[in-house]
Amino acid sequence: MVTAILYVVIVIAIGIAVGAGILMLSTKLGAGFTPKFPISVATVIVEFIAAAVVSWILHMVVGMGALSSLLSLIVIFLVYAAIVNAMLKKPGGAQMGFGRACLVTLIEIIIEIVLGVILAFVFGAALFGMFAGMH
């Protein structure tokens, strides 16, 4: 039991670190500056919590289905952009602006989708090979 909890904590910590790295890269590409790692970690944690709450509320209000998923994607995109705009400041201390934050969020989501597809192919091929070897 303790080992399972430890594995979950390690996976969450790695996920947050990777998410912060993706956020730093997308901010560099979209806004022209790189935020510090600790503020990127805090931003990723706030994004994750906000996305979970918004998704839960929308599924409770709208229900399950394609419309709910599309609405959830749009609202979460806007919430992510608002969080990025509020938490990540330019080196001078000013906000980057909501438009720039939308660009950073779009780049972040694209990187996450590409990374997810690559990992799905890698782990999918590994699982397929493992299951094929069983027969």
Domain extents for the chain? Answer: 2-134
Who wins on pLDDT, 130 or 11? 11
- Distance CA(16)–CA(2), nearest Å, equals 21
Nearest to 56, CA basis, from 76, 85, 74: 76
pLDDT digits (tens, 9 = 90+) for 83-93: 999 999 888 88
pLDDT confidence of residue 102: 95
- Distance CA(33)–CA(104), nearest Å, equals 11
**What's phi and psi for 91, nearest 5 deg?**
-55, -30
Count other C-beta atoms under 10 Å from residue 68's C-beta. 16
Do 49 and 31 form a contact (C-beta atoms < 8 A)? no
pLDDT of 4 higher than 80: yes
Mean pLDDT of 78-103: 91
Mean of the per-residue pLDDT values of the chain: 88
Is pTM beyond 0.85? Reply is no
